[in-house]
Amino acid sequence: MYKPKILADLNPLVKWLALIRFIGALGFALSMPFLALYLHEDNGIPMTTIGLMLTTTGLVGASASTIAGALSDVFGRSRLVKGLLTARALSFAVLAYIVWRNMSFASFAVVYVISGFLGAAIFPLVDSITADIVPLERRAEVYGLTRSAANVGWAIGPAIGGFIVVGGYYLMFLSTSVMVGIAAVIAIIKVTETWRSALIQKQEYKFYRIFSDYRMMRFVALCLMMYIVRGQLLVTLSVHASTNIGLTKVQIGWLYFENGVMVASLLVIVASWLKKYDALRVLSVAALMYGTGYLIVGYAPNMLVMIGAVAIITLAEIVDTPIASAYASSLAPEGMTGIYMGSFSLTLHLGWTVGPLLGGFVMDHTVQPQSVWLVISGVALTAAIGFFVIGSREGKLRVASSE
């Protein structure tokens, strides 16, 4: 039987990083599910305009992850994390003020995009701190832990936000500001500097060296394909489930609840088990699982089959999340962990941003709904083959020794 030992013999900073991820995700989840309701239903902003704002936020966030990662290799992680969390708390306070004063959508959109930039910049820094303090053989578990903590926050947040929003939408954003502010205070008190300037000479640091690392470039290209597939979960899947299968909003909500509960409860356990296996082969299996799950979505006739499809998709997410992060950190040369984790984080942001756009484009230009999911599954299959091929060429690489 699995006995959780995740925090045993590890730097105490790990638990504070997990708590920061939990509080940050909880705070964001207080307001994010109700964002479109506020903008579209209460203020009449077209959904296309809202979508453009969210897409812009995603693209800006993708660039932020790489920029922040590179900066952390030169100036350190701790001060950036503290500054970014504080600035993000302030940005949500400004959003609350904009909503309270019923200011223009343009002002709201500008501040929201800035907030997205700040939020996206935080993730690779937390991952880099983890790589600094956790030995390679334990990273899969720890990345699983921090992401599980975030998923618990995502699961709880919307339920609490539903009560807060009754008092006014401005309270929703104000509550997010308070929660992110609490995370900032914890970071200021507990997050010590893990970056060591002795590892590199600042004047010799050249972030673009990563582009000559063909192993990393191949890896992030395949991850981008896989995450474009993964990015179909929030928008494309829900539209298909409602329009083509006829599921109610309540039923669709239960599908996302299923995803959140599975990730939160299984991620650390699965990461501990999978770390003994070849990382690229594991990711190949994850990509195949994504393809299988979404192919079933395309042909699902009812809620019961959709529950099974989402279970497969979620298992793929559980398999890929900790292993991909640990593998990316293992490729980083000494002194370049930040830019490597930032580049990896970029693929995830682009996947969530570009994925729904591509899925929506295919959906709008095909007659048969199944065609969408055949294309998506084909992308997943291509990624799976790619992971398998480069894994065969490079030999086995585990993120932990087999014990």
Q: How far apart are CA 98 and CA 35, in angstroms?
A: 14
Same-domain pairing of 23 and 57: yes
Q: How many domains, in total, are found in the chain?
A: 2
Q: How many Cβ atoms are within 10 Å of 13's Cβ, its own excluded? A: 18
Joined tokens for residue 24: 């940050």
Joined tokens for residue 145: 């832990």
Q: How far apart are CA 166 and CA 345, in angstroms?
A: 35
Same-domain pairing of 378 and 324: yes
| pLDDT score for 250 | 79
Q: How far apart are CA 323 and CA 63, in angstroms?
A: 23
Q: Pick from 204, 159, 160: which is nearest to 334 by CA?
A: 204
At 336, which CATH number?
1.20.1250.20
Same-domain pairing of 228 and 113: no
Same-domain pairing of 148 and 250: no
In this structure, is residue 287 part of a structural domain? Answer: yes
3-class secondary-structure state, position 97: helix
- Predicted TM-score of the model (pTM): 0.80
Q: How many Cβ atoms are within 10 Å of 277's Cβ, its own excluded? A: 16
3-class secondary-structure state, position 398: strand
Same-domain pairing of 298 and 396: yes
| pLDDT score for 198 | 45
3-class secondary-structure state, position 209: helix
| pLDDT score for 280 | 94
Q: State the 10-residue block means of pLDDT for the chain, 403 residues long.
A: 55 91 90 78 80 85 89 89 97 96 94 94 91 87 88 81 86 95 96 71 62 91 95 83 86 83 87 86 96 96 96 95 91 85 88 82 82 94 95 67 44
Among 143, 168, 195, the domain-final residue is 195
In this structure, is residue 1 part of a structural domain? Answer: no
**DSSP run (H or E) holding 143:** helix 136-164
In this structure, is residue 205 part of a structural domain? Answer: no
Tell me the Ramachandran region of residue 195: left when phi exceeds 0, alpha when psi lies from -120 to 50, beta otherwise: beta
Same-domain pairing of 369 and 334: yes
Q: How far apart are CA 34 and CA 206, in angstroms?
A: 42
Among 139, 164, 195, the domain-final residue is 195
Q: 360 and 253 in contact (C-beta within 8 Å)?
A: no
| pLDDT score for 373 | 94
| pLDDT score for 6 | 55
| pLDDT score for 44 | 85
